[in-house]
Amino acid sequence: MRLQKYLAHCGVASRRRSEELIQKGLVAVNGKVITEMGYKVTLGRDEVTFMGSIVMPEDQHVYIMLNKPEGVITSSDDQFNRKTVIDYVATSYRIYPVGRLDYDTSGLIFLTNDGSFANQMMHPKHKIPKTYHALVKGKPNSEDIEAFERGLLIDGSYTYPATMKILKEDDFCLLEIIISEGRNRQVRKMCDAIGYPVCQLKRVAVGNILLGTLQEGEWRYLTEEEVWKLKEQSIFK
């Protein structure tokens, strides 16, 4: 099997992207860095590593995106028998949510049975951007926005720099907020810190995957291309 095909088969990247990884000298076979296209490996005999980690063929993995409604628990089950994100997805695979969305927050969340993918999405070092639409009372001024974007002290430590953009103005203001962390109730706490409590919050994108027209409570499988894009974004941050 050609090396780039093997990498794709193992879920490292798409075949085309795998060729780029090989050219960059990030892939080794039996301890030797391989940069030539068309190099062949034998399943079960050759040891292939990517950036120092052994890669092996993966089991059947599934990747799902759900538009979580408010009032739904981000968990596989709940001791109080409240509705969970799993209740919305009809699949025979044993899946679990990637990260979490607060009970009173709606929007995009991934579910999968791929532990490696979940870790890539959640690990702080990868800084995967998460985009939210927040409805707040009043209108933040330029100083508020600058403070927000520098990072705010919440729960004893400063947040990573974030972005805030005003989408609509009225008695209530609709904000677009992008963070690259996943702290507990982070967007709400950051808005509280500048004096604009969140009335309603929705996550509309994770990385380069947009919620789009998916309605609340609806779900779909991610395409192969979407999965590759997310994996590549986390690897090459």
Q: What amino acid positions are annotated as catalytic residues?
A: 102
- Name the pairing type of β-strands 198-206 and 48-50: unpaired
Mark 75-108 as b/e (b = at least 16 C-beta within 10 Å).
eeeeeeeeebbbebbeeeeebebbebbbeebbbb
112, 63 in Cβ contact below 8 A? yes
126, 120 in Cβ contact below 8 A? yes
Amino acid code (one letter) for 76:
S
Q: Say how far apart CA 80 and CA 103 lie, in whole Å.
A: 13
Q: Which of 87, 86, 134 has its CA nearest to residue 111?
A: 86
109, 139 in Cβ contact below 8 A? no
The CA-atom distances, in angstroms, between 139 and each of 33, 103, 172 are: 55, 25, 7
Q: Interhelix angle for 115-122 vs 224-235, to 10°?
A: 50
